[in-house]
Structure 1
Amino acid sequence: MNAFGLLRVACASLKTSVGDPAANAREVVGVLAKTEACDVVLFPELCLTGYTCADLFYQPTLLDAALDALKTVVEANAGKPRVVVVGLPLGVGPHLYNCAAVIDGRGVRGVVPKQHLPNYKEFYERRWFRPAKGEEPAEVDILGRSTPFGIDLLFPVEGAGAAGRDAVIGVEICEDLWIPIPPSASQALAGATLLLNPSAGNETIGKSAYRTDLVVGQSGRCVAAYAYAGAGPTESTTDLVFGGHCLIAENGGLMAESRRVGDGKPVERGSYWIERDVDVARLTFLRRSEATFESPVGPIRPFRRVPVGLASSERDDLKRYVAAAPFVPTAGPELNRRCAEIFEIQVAGLAKRMERMPEASTFHLGVSGGLDSTLALLVAVKTLDLLGRDRKLLRGLTMPGFGTTSRTRTNAIDLMDHLGVSSETIDIAPLALQTFQELGHAPFGIDAKGMDVETLRAALLDVPEDRRKDLVFENVQARLRTFLLMSRGFVIGTGDLSEMALGWSTYNADHMSMYNPNCSIPKTLVRFLVSYAAMHEFPEGPTRDTLNSIAETTISPELLPPSKRGEILQSTEDALGPYELHDFFLYHVVRLGYPPEKVLFLARFAEFSKPYPPELVAKTLKTFLSRFFAQQYKRSCVPDGPKVGTVSLSPRGDWRMPSDADAAAWLRWAQG
């Protein structure tokens, strides 16, 4: 288990010799030799004998051979910081139980019997086994040692340092998962974060999809990792074929799925397995911050906790997918539905607010030719269409200033024209110049007294790039734009979630509006949605061309003078760092509570749009954390707007933070 709380789990489907425990033990040992880097290795139900032994389960010869096979596995794992779970039949007094043995480097640490035995259709388990009800002996003799036995066992990890403190293993067997309230629910409520299911499920048409839904759904309901290892096609096929389906899920998401019978590929006859790193630290954070675990359904008996030994690992690889753009929908059959859902949530939020206004009301939107105002414009148009109102009620206002380029100005005007909204242009440069003069402010050291606009424009072009820093110059223009908009009526906001996180807005300027449909849309998703609209909603013609041009434009507030060639010099990403890094940090720090060191570790495995030097990633993370803390005062005062994804920074909803909190603890890593 590594220092960031990542636990490597393997689920294996075994090449089975039905009725030959010695051969099955050798197969288990062979798999263990190839999964040395794994912390937990799970094998199928009754894997040491084969699930399909039927009346042979009564035979003492088979039961004794199963114990000998268990001894072989224990000896192979001796001294290793690893947990192994194998299935075997076990006689306890006059009864026979279908069991899972939990093994670490010291031997068998506990045995969990199956509680719910299928006895319908093709299943006949009650012919051989007794269902465990909690009345069984608390300990049984296994390989000459008294060993904990029962349905009340949990296995907390020890020996892995601080990273392992929240790693607790619970075990249920096959059918236990298929009942209304599986035992794993009680185990999770009692603290289990990794749920294991050794199983033997036969394959029938459509069953694999339902099985996957069960595993994924239970991982989500329990806010846990769930590993499932299924018996394979080398079980007896007298009446059934077993699929060999292995699954690993975490908190409602499928992490890995193995081969299986019926997947359209040649049937695998040997042993195979899947491996993934499950994030125990993430699960603990989510349980503390989002889920309710103190109100279980029905009585829950106390659990006995039997420690299992792992070790703190120094491994530097990762068997886990890390999304470089966690807010952006992935390509595939769900893409269209997901994008439509995002737009519909934004539209529904704005529609309710518009409905509260008189029907002839006009709505005002600052259209800059940038990404955020473009998305807000698209949402506003969709909303008016939904309400059956004239698009001309939406009055787009573009307000070029000293930093506006011809490209963004043209795109803004063209887009409003294409979409059929009212359009107007007001040059704010004269008002800004007058404000500088009234304030006695010299932009970039230039004495503006007595100047006209064109003279100041010309003088600004000669300001060296390294001296183009003047916050008053920027803020005056930003506030003038908001002043002009709000003087006209109801203003639709445009600022996005990434800007809110970084405080990249002028207080009481673009920071403010009457309703902001973009407030929980991060910048990477804004760009994606604009490009998506260009491709799918305007598949050809000038609207698509304009949207594509906007999507490809350098992200900039355009408040500082352009180059002499009229090109944007004020790049937001040059100043702050790439937005795809900031959105990556936003997701992992705010949504998942990861410490900075873990965020940097995961960033190494994310496939960003281009490779970033480690120094840039670290520098950008420091910028993110510094600004996130310093700019909370802006987030304490933001307009209404809908939560769309899993992260919102609204002070009325998801995020409550003191405006004067100190980032020192989060930045300590950067001082080392």
Structure 2
Amino acid sequence: MSLFPFGLFRITAAAPEVFVADPARNAEAIIAVTRQASDSDVLLFPELCISSYTAADLFGQTPLLDASREAISRIAEATAEHRALIVVGLPLAVDGSLYNAAAAIHRGEVLGIVPKQYLPTYREFYEGRWFRSGDGHEPATLELAGSEVPFGIDLLFRCGGATIGIEICEDLWMPIPPSSLQAIAGANVLLNLSASNEVVGKARWRTDLVVSQSGRCLAAYAYAGAGPDESTTDVVFGGHCLIAENGVVLEQSRRVGDGQLPWRGASLITADVDLERLDHDRRTQTSFDDALPLLPRPYRVIEFSLPASSSAPKTEAEPALEADAAPPLPRPPRRRIPAHPFVPAPGPELDARCGEVFAIQTAGLAKRVSRLSEDSPLVIGVSGGLDSTLALLAAVKGCDSYGWPRTRILGVTMPGFGTSAHTRTSADDLMEGLGIRSEAIDIRPLCLEAFRSLDHRPLGIQLGDMDVETFQQALVEVPADVTDLVFENVQARVRTFLLMSRGFVLGTGDLSEQALGWSTYNGDHMSMYNVNTSVPKTLVRFLVRYAADRYFESPVRETLHRIADTPISPELLPLSSSGEIRQDTEATLGPYELHDFFLFNVVRNGFSREKIAYLARHAKFSEPYDEATIDRTLETFYRRFFANQFKRSCVPDGPKVGSVSLSPRGDWRMPSDASRGAF
């Protein structure tokens, strides 16, 4: 069990108030900030924050260096009861050389000190005038406050599942940052103490560096920048702080130049990074370990222990968590838990995501169709529902992009015993508006004959010599809770038979349906190519609306929006006496937004059932779900996910559009007879 509940490791990055060349006052300012982050696991402060970065030639003065050492001792003493690892920057004289260094302090002790490796001495920077670079030849230890302290560029700090590497400002801007080597050596939390001044455009590049480094290193990356209290003789420092995780910014502070007025005093940000997710990604991205031969040196690992964290208030220092102790109670997460991980928030990012996905679908289908004979029709069953509509739109735009006539597409509506007038009208209006060829086939007579051939009593009804209309009337009397899998499967397979007999069939089933096995084997499960194969249900509706508003005019646009607002149903069970849809998929399976949340965290992140339930309780879905609903739906997900791998083992080709795919040829290879005992 991880020391940190569900692997959530809390980091605070802060830009404290700074007094230029006054270590004693700076120490008190740092101590004040530590009191504001009492439940963090790491507190990160800027480069040379003990002395101030802008002390210039005062770095050569013995009083400033002595006062900086005294300040470190003061911070260690004042934070002896604080649970976090505290990392601060200071100038440090060692064996006749001066280093720009980072000190790691925990529970009153300086655990180790890491020197800066790359010293900027160009344009506004002049560090080479005062400091020596850490290059591996520095002493392995130094004396500080009467103790021997590890010193060097080969230090990592480990507590439970967190292994921490430290670099300083310019180190990140190099072709091979020290943090890259630290990550290869095992560090999954990377810290950067910085003093980066603000000039036009620099903040964007700084953010890109932090984000990309966290992604390349499959790590968390925290960055604390010096603030505007530094000397402004020639430059202004922005106080920019960032926390990123595997290519995504979790939190960032305001900064000088962000369009708001400057501020006085400290600023800080806090976020939980997910160590379990990072470990999963490193395990599954096997090429990560291929870089191990690049390491230029072994690393010394300094172990330390954090007191247990919990959601309960603390009144006194807690003992460190022993290896065999019960895990601490999970605290509420300090990170956004995306309720819809496949769908960005409305706005430019959502539009860009929809545009990218729709283009991948269209390009994939167009390439496949280009290999067919020119007279080969592209056949699609059009139900008036979301999935078939999205597939049809991809086919239409694929034809448009290749210069093929839209009449190459044959849309077939196949009303059955549960088809509503609403969806039938939507299907007819859509096909007419798009200018494709259309055909309507009433599948009920064929299904009735199939029931008789199977000697089956559909939904308990004795057929005798009933005709279609008599049987349809009899269905109205069937109670809503009566189900019949054969009744549903026959309709699905008849539809597939009719489509397959007409040409190249375009599949419509989506990623969520594949995960849950919500299809009829060798029925709607099968096609010649499926453009929706890795599109989750929660995204389909947005894609239809996106295509409607971007590519189509009235009345097609209105038809598409009407379809996007239709309840999700396979329409295989009878309608109500008033002709309304009675088979609501989400009433049977549970909400699709929950299933897609579970799908992402199982397949993409490899999380445990307990962690997924914990995260779901803290996510903001379209409506609040109680614990019973979450747990019941999660059990449904696992049960159906394991039971239906045999359907996923033989799905048609189709394009991967996001980070999650269940293709047996690509992302997901799972035994069809796997047990879910461990899940």
TM-score range, shorter chain: over 0.9
1:631 matches 2:627: no
1:245 matches 2:236: no
Q: What code does the residue aligned with 1:154 have?
A: L
Match of 1:222 among 187, 206, 217: 217
Q: Secondary structure of 1:54's match?
A: helix
1:584 matches 2:597: yes
Alignment of 1:539-618 (within 5 A): 541-618=554-631
The 2-side partners of 1:337 and 1:92 are apart by: 53
The 2-side partners of 1:172 and 1:357 are apart by: 57
Corresponding residue for residue 383 of structure 1: 398
Contact preservation (8 Å) 1:259, 1:268: no
1:513 matches 2:509: no
Corresponding residue for residue 299 of structure 2: 303
Tell me the CA shift for residue 291 of structure 1.
5.0
The 1-side partners of 2:178 and 2:347 are apart by: 35
Match of 2:229 among 228, 231, 234: 234
Tell me the CA shift for residue 426 of structure 1.
0.2
1:320 matches 2:331: no
After superposing the two structures, state which structure 1 stretch, 542-551 or 431-440, moved more.
Answer: 542-551
The 2-side partners of 1:445 and 1:271 are apart by: 73
Contact preservation (8 Å) 1:367, 1:412: yes
Q: How many residue pairs get matched?
A: 657
Corresponding residue for residue 256 of structure 1: 251
After superposing the two structures, state which structure 1 stretch, 394-403 or 351-360, moved more.
Answer: 351-360
Corresponding residue for residue 55 of structure 1: 57
Tell me the CA shift for residue 143 of structure 1.
1.3
Q: Secondary structure of 2:5's match?
A: coil
Tell me the CA shift for residue 412 of structure 1.
0.6
Tell me the CA shift for residue 585 of structure 1.
0.5
Q: What code does the residue aligned with 1:498 have?
A: S
Alignment of 1:450-529 (within 5 A): 450-467=465-482, 469-529=483-543
The 2-side partners of 1:419 and 1:646 are apart by: 32
Q: What code does the residue aligned with 1:597 have?
A: E
Alignment of 1:149-548 (within 5 A): 149-157=151-159, 164-165=160-161, 167-296=162-291, 298-315=294-311, 316-467=331-482, 469-538=483-552, 541-548=554-561
Corresponding residue for residue 130 of structure 1: 132
Tell me the CA shift for residue 408 of structure 1.
0.6
The 2-side partners of 1:499 and 1:585 are apart by: 13
Tell me the CA shift for residue 438 of structure 1.
0.7
After superposing the two structures, state which structure 1 stretch, 144-153 or 605-614, moved more.
Answer: 605-614
The 1-side partners of 2:349 and 2:626 are apart by: 33
Q: Secondary structure of 2:268's match?
A: strand
Q: Deviations over 1:627-668 (max 9, x none)?
A: 1011000000100000001100000000000001111221xx
Corresponding residue for residue 109 of structure 2: 107
Q: Secondary structure of 1:524's match?
A: helix
Q: Secondary structure of 1:661's match?
A: coil
Contact preservation (8 Å) 1:527, 1:551: yes
Q: Deviations over 1:175-231 (max 9, x none)?
A: 000000100000000110100000001111111100000000100000100000000
Tell me the CA shift for residue 329 of structure 1.
2.9
Contact preservation (8 Å) 1:83, 1:309: no
Tell me the CA shift for residue 132 of structure 1.
0.6
Contact preservation (8 Å) 1:2, 1:314: no
Tell me the CA shift for residue 22 of structure 1.
0.6
Q: Secondary structure of 2:262's match?
A: coil
Q: What code does the residue aligned with 2:662 have?
A: L
Tell me the CA shift for residue 333 of structure 1.
2.9
Match of 1:38 among 40, 45, 70: 40
The 1-side partners of 2:98 and 2:177 are apart by: 22
Q: Deviations over 1:46-89 (max 9, x none)?
A: 00000011111111111110111111110122143210000001
Q: Give the gaps of 5 or more residues in structure 1.
A: 158-163, 667-672
TM-score, normalised via structure 2 length: 0.95
After superposing the two structures, state which structure 1 stretch, 73-82 or 40-49, moved more.
Answer: 73-82
Match of 1:646 among 640, 649, 659: 659
Q: Give the gaps of 5 or more residues in structure 2.
A: 312-330
Q: Deviations over 1:587-625 (max 9, x none)?
A: 111101111111111112221111112211111011001
The 1-side partners of 2:676 and 2:413 are apart by: 38
TM-score, normalised via structure 1 length: 0.96
The 1-side partners of 2:555 and 2:338 are apart by: 33
Corresponding residue for residue 90 of structure 1: 92
Contact preservation (8 Å) 1:496, 1:521: yes
The 2-side partners of 1:268 and 1:251 are apart by: 31
Contact preservation (8 Å) 1:363, 1:395: yes
Contact preservation (8 Å) 2:39, 2:83: no
Structure 1 pair 273–368 and aligned structure 2 pair: CA distance change class (3 A): same
Corresponding residue for residue 70 of structure 2: 68
The 1-side partners of 2:10 and 2:303 are apart by: 18
After superposing the two structures, state which structure 1 stretch, 316-325 or 509-518, moved more.
Answer: 316-325
Corresponding residue for residue 669 of structure 1: none
Q: What code does the residue aligned with 1:417 have?
A: E
Corresponding residue for residue 160 of structure 1: none
Contact preservation (8 Å) 1:44, 1:87: yes
Identity level (%): 60
Q: What code does the residue aligned with 1:103 have?
A: I
The 1-side partners of 2:488 and 2:196 are apart by: 66
Match of 2:27 among 8, 25, 28: 25
After superposing the two structures, state which structure 1 stretch, 96-105 or 320-329, moved more.
Answer: 320-329
Tell me the CA shift for residue 268 of structure 1.
1.4
What's the RMSD between the two structures over aligned residues?
Answer: 1.1
Contact preservation (8 Å) 2:91, 2:99: yes
Tell me the CA shift for residue 106 of structure 1.
4.5
1:661 matches 2:674: yes
Q: What code does the residue aligned with 1:109 have?
A: L
The 2-side partners of 1:465 and 1:575 are apart by: 12
Q: Secondary structure of 2:507's match?
A: coil
Q: Secondary structure of 1:465's match?
A: coil
Corresponding residue for residue 161 of structure 1: none
Q: Secondary structure of 2:641's match?
A: helix
The 2-side partners of 1:306 and 1:275 are apart by: 24
The 2-side partners of 1:463 and 1:647 are apart by: 40
